[in-house]
Amino acid sequence: MAKTIKLTKGYDIKIEGESLRFISKLPLSRNFAISPLDFTGINPKMIVEVGNEVKAGDPLFYSKDNEKIVFTAPVSGEIIEIKRGEKRVIQEVVILSDSKNSFKDFGTRNPNEATQQEVIDILMSSGAWTFIRQKPFSKIADPAHLPKSIFISGFDSAPLGVDYNFILSNQLKDFQTGIDALKKLSSGKIYLNLSKRLNNCDTFTSAKNVEITNFDGPHPAGNVGVQIHHLDPVITKNDIVWYLNPQDVVIIGRLFNTGKFDARKIVSLAGSEIKKRQYYEFIIGASLESLLKDNLHSNNTRIISGNVLSGKKIEKNSYLGFYDDLVTAIPEGDEEEFLGWLLPTYPRPSLSRSLPSFIFPADKFKVNTNMHGEERAFVVTGDYEKVLPMDIMPLHLIKACMTGDLDNMEALGLYEVSPEDFALCEFICTSKAPIQEIIENGLNILEKEA
């Protein structure tokens, strides 16, 4: 019987705009882009040039720090642009699809019959290795340092989060093959973590070579960082743990079963400003322009690749983030609100007892991006501990990151956290401090110096 871990700290933000449980297959997008900025700490070296023809699975660029970590094309077509920013930093590699989507053949293989090195070689050459990330530092896993365990979070507890039980309900074969491939990469356990509050699909409950653990509690129970903390914590920089998204496991399984780097995934289009909220079959890196055109209630809308707490603001003509399977649209919230800080004019989610919504909570709230104030002096309230279900001292860790105190950053547990783990702390912060940015800067400093 699966073990259950009960979490009492956290907060579920219930907002309008949930996707309907319906999947549409869209025509193949004309433009696709892979951005090196989606990958933490990657310094890219280009392999292709503008005008080159590529197949799905052909290499585009590699990491200068490790030439074996290759990033490949999600579709076939022509390289039409390599966008660069300040100091010629590569921002996007844009591909014009040829509408055929032909694939490079990597050959089918049963991972159970392959050696560890053979599995690594297939993942590296196809670009599928980039789905595997590690803690500490939330970066692409280093194949030279194999992990003590591997984690897969089978549920998303963030606001309007993706329902993996729905989208993976008929993908047991590819999911299991992906698990079998990952099993070759570690002598430790593969943890598949599920929600106690959901009816989990057969793809998860029938999976073999995994240890299933149920988590019962509010957000951030679905964050893989929280799950790692409770099952196999990262104490030092040498405690390597890998983690993946369930859909990435399916793509890896598909690679071994078909011999193709088939980067299809199911993406949720959600949020109160979306007219047609549902799930769509997408290919990683696809342009969102045609999907969002004529599908927004207002032009004054914030488009987010990811969830409202930790996602990235994008434009309507942007591309789907490499690790994202959720696109959220909510009102921009830049209208002035007369005495809004004193007399709230509309219900909003909050832990503060000063708002009527705390006493009379709505079933769901229509939220916007209004901060209801600006950054101010750092105030010690003790609220962070209420929403972070980890045995660390968040306030002291945040201060250590702000001051660049390396010793305290290590001692207080920075190795085992990611910015997204502090998203709720930022949401409830009285000081309006950019806490996720502070944690990210702390991690960058610690990785560089440690």
Determine phi and psi for 437, rounding to 5 degrees. Answer: -65, -40
Whole-number mean pLDDT of the chain? 93
Give CA separation, 29 vs 33, 97, 238, 266, 277, in Å.
Answer: 11, 7, 42, 15, 19
Instruction: Please state the domain extents for the chain.
Output: 3-258, 384-449
Would you tell me how many other CB atoms lie within 10 Å of the CB of residue 66?
A: 14
Residue 140 has, within 13 A of its CA and on its CB side, a CA count of 27
pLDDT-derived band at 362, boundaries 50, 70, 90: low
- This prediction has a pTM of 0.95
CB burial class (10 A; 0-12, 13-18, 19+) of residue 435?
buried
CA distance 361 to 138: 35
What does the pLDDT read at residue 348? 76
Q: From residue 170, how far is each of 131, 201, 244 by CA, in Å?
A: 21, 9, 19
Token reading at 59: 């290499």
Retrieve residue 179's tokens.
């698990």
Are the C-beta atoms of residues 325 and 245 closer than 8 Å to each other?
yes
**Residue 268: count of CB within 10 angstroms of its CB:** 28
pLDDT at 381: 85
> In Å, what is the CA distance from 387 to each residue of 10, 73, 107, 220, 221?
4, 39, 47, 8, 10
Greater confidence, 9 or 343?
9
Strand partners, 152: 192, 244
Q: What is the dihedral of CA 291, 292, 297, 300, to 10 degrees?
A: 170
For residues 346-359, average pLDDT: 67
Separation between Cα atoms, residue 250 and residue 265, nearest integer Å? 9
Contact yes or no for 87/16 (Cβ under 8 A): no
d(C-alpha 406, C-alpha 132), whole Å = 27
As a whole number of angstroms, the distance between CA 32 and CA 11 comes to: 36
CA angle 78, 84, 88 (to 5 degrees): 135
- Report the DSSP beta bridge partners of residue 211: 191
Nearest to 48 by CA among 63, 62, 60: 60
Q: Helices (H), strands (E): how many in the chain? A: 13, 20
Token pair of 4, please? 């259950």
Burial 151-167 (b: 16+ CB within 10 A, else e): bbbbbbbbbbbbbbbbb
User: What end-to-end distance do the CA atoms of the chain give, in Å?
Assistant: 41
C-beta separation of 409 from 448 below 8 A: no
Distance between CA 149 and CA 215 in Å, rounded?
Answer: 18
Q: With beta carbons less than 8 A apart as the criterion, state whether 33 and 79 touch.
A: no
Q: Which of the 8 DSSP states describes residue 302?
A: E
pLDDT at residue 372 in the model: 78
pLDDT one-digit tens code per residue, 151-187: 999 999 999 999 999 999 999 999 999 999 999 999 9
> What mean pLDDT comes out for the span 262-290?
96
* Whether residue 356 has pLDDT greater than 80: no
Per-residue model confidence as pLDDT tens digits over 201-238: 999 999 999 999 999 999 999 999 999 999 999 988 89
Q: Please count the other Cβ atoms lying within 10 Å of the Cβ belonging to residue 75.
A: 27
What percent of the chain is predicted at pLDDT more than 90? 84
333: tokens are 């919230």
**Beta-bridge partner residues of 279:** 23, 268
- Predicted confidence band of residue 360 (pLDDT cuts 50, 70, 90): low
Residue 249 has pLDDT above 80, yes or no: yes
Tokens standing for residue 377 = 């002096």
Residue showing tokens 């560890």: 116
